[in-house]
Structure 1
């Protein structure tokens, strides 16, 4: 008598099934004489009233003679294959079991420095013919630029990571019958400082402020971890750190180069941001009066500066036909007109130009502190002033130039010394002086940096 081969008579408690699990094969029909086989090798011999399990299976297999079900414990990958229940002279039922390994997700390393380090992710599955898809958040990761996929997409490599590569990253594994997602991983990427700036309050045209002002400087930068911030004025460190520097009741000697120095202790990068502002003291000691002389009946007089209607404030006094500027400020420069109004007419005067003379404020020198023999270097002197300053350069007490820019002749070692710039305003009668030390060494010598 021939037996019928079918797969619908038996089924597994779970299929596919993870490695290490237990599985039970159930039969819809009870078998009293036959066998369970794995890839045509005996697991259980079924005889009336008894069953025989070979020693190779006895520690992991349980057979229920009432239901003909077969249980296997602690599955390994080698347990994948064809399982058959033979009922002699009745039927032969077959089922293919897939035992799949657990997925592994590894990343090395997780603490990274922007533009320096490389992140390597590895996702492994012991399942049958898996496919891998990487996600950054909800977006699929594709190869290109600094992103590489290799080893059948099991390895994701990001070279020279940036702050935008933080993740979260996940690995999605599928094989047509199952789907698994790895735990998400966030990268800790240190970056910066970058995008630095200094914000000055209150704002002022050309960064010029009058004596007695209160000025607040705020430094900011993009940095992780947050950057340490230090302050310098005219290249000299101040005993102050933090993003804010407050200057109260400023005087002309507060003029100069203010520098924010940012430092990230993890990336080991630093950057500086500099701003120059001037404290104007000379113009504040003066007042200035304009009179609007009108014949005939006048109901009211209006004052205009640069086309804008003026009103009284702490430094501008409007009284009948008189305009008083006290104290005079740099912002008071401009074209003034007065406008006389009565019931039947309105007359506007010709413009009167007011130019506030000031300075020179603190002179500064830009240029190298050290050079080698044979070089020609540029030293530039600047001092805020109106009218523009007249500049004179001195070296060891002798005049060497009468221009803001001094280009040295080919340097020799005996040209080491102090270079002095004097800025002079022939209207205010004031001058301002700056000094810079220049060290000249031979081509093979050591460069020594000094500043005054």
Structure 2
């Protein structure tokens, strides 16, 4: 029986090298040929085990077919005197045969091992040998690398359009992306997610200001980018003027003679507004707060605050009327 089995093995070897790619075996009609397909997923630089049946064959031949080719090349064979590892195995990782089995162990799995492994196994029986083909489809996955975030404009002007891209050097697809926004106060929210590495932001506004990061994930792992600051440029808005002490009449604000009156101007803007004060159309002060000590009736008139965004070269203005009374008029 052993001699007959060895004779079959030598007959079997050239047949496997020629015909396995078409999944057709030309054997004696009395032989029983069984086919088994399995799918194995490995991770690059990790270990994986490829099984060749649940029992040890009397004779087996492992071969490898690279995707996109039809060539099938021997990797390991054992004709009953122990496994013989072929030179091709060096390109497929640190390959060994697990003792008391025909299973292959591959350590430090390289991307080059992605493809079809075929174990052609012969089991000796009292009646006749049985031939099995174990097709092991090995998919080698690459973890996603740490992504890095790019913006078309890190300081967009309010109302403009910009894009953000989550760049990834490595990672087996499909890859999913999650986009996160963190406000100045530390509140984090998800603003987009999906399989696209780019998001477009139309009509940028000041609420888009903050930290952004992207998270890339595949079947192996997830990695997050570093934060990138988005600084929306806007303004100035129409100024708000606060008068202290606060007193109103039908004609506007009022004050008593010899009081100290403070006029505070505030206009939302990024960069911060620059302020200029005018009294009856004449410039009298630069800065957000204009204070008049011991105000007199001659100071009655119109006070205007001009807010300027020097980066955008934009400006806005607000005017109030202030009437100064003598206590003798009350």
User: Could you state the TM-score of these two structures normalised by the residue count of structure 1?
Assistant: 0.49
Q: Look up the match of 1:328.
A: 329
Q: Look up the match of 2:258.
A: 212
Give the 3-state SS of the residue equivalent to 2:298 in structure 1.
helix
The alpha-carbon distance between structure 1 residues 254 and 31, as it changes in their structure 2 partners (threshold 3 A), is farther
Normalized per residue, which structure has more strand? 1
- Aligned residue pairs total 267
Q: Look up the match of 1:70.
A: 105
Structure-1 separation of matches of 2:72 and 2:155: 54
Structure-2 separation of matches of 1:3 and 1:169: 59
1:38 maps to 2:70: no
Structure-1 separation of matches of 2:137 and 2:34: 14
Q: Which residue of the other structure, out of 208, 232, 236, is the alignment partner of 2:282? A: 236
Structure-2 separation of matches of 1:54 and 1:229: 79
Bigger RCO of structures 1 and 2 (CA < 8 A, at least 6 apart): 2
Gapped regions of structure 1 (runs ≥ 5): 143-148, 285-326, 330-452
Q: Give, in angstroms, the shift of residue 37 of structure 1.
A: 3.1
Normalized per residue, which structure has more helix? 2
Q: Which residue of the other structure, out of 10, 26, 45, is the alignment partner of 1:21? A: 45
User: Could you state the TM-score of these two structures normalised by the residue count of structure 2?
Assistant: 0.64
Gapped regions of structure 2 (runs ≥ 5): 1-30, 66-70, 124-130, 182-187
Structure-1 separation of matches of 2:269 and 2:87: 68
Structure-2 separation of matches of 1:135 and 1:64: 45
The alpha-carbon distance between structure 1 residues 127 and 107, as it changes in their structure 2 partners (threshold 3 A), is same
Summarize deviations over 1:11-34 as a string: whole Å, max 9, x none: 86xx353xx534432546666743
Q: Look up the match of 1:189.
A: 232
Select the structure of larger CA radius of gyration: 1
Summarize deviations over 1:92-138 as a string: whole Å, max 9, x none: 44243142463645422352233364321224675344455655553
Q: Look up the match of 2:93.
A: 61
Structure-1 separation of matches of 2:285 and 2:58: 95
Q: Which residue of the other structure, out of 103, 119, 142, is the alignment partner of 1:85? A: 119
Q: Give, in angstroms, the shift of residue 169 of structure 1.
A: 4.7
Structure-2 separation of matches of 1:185 and 1:197: 32
The alpha-carbon distance between structure 1 residues 178 and 60, as it changes in their structure 2 partners (threshold 3 A), is closer
Check whether the contact 2:48–2:109 (CA below 8 A) recurs between aligned residues: no
Q: Give, in angstroms, the shift of residue 267 of structure 1.
A: 3.6
Structure-1 separation of matches of 2:214 and 2:203: 21
Structure-2 separation of matches of 1:29 and 1:191: 73
Pairing 1:285-296 to 2, within 5 Å after superposition: none
Structure-1 separation of matches of 2:37 and 2:141: 18
Moved more, 40-49 or 200-209: 40-49
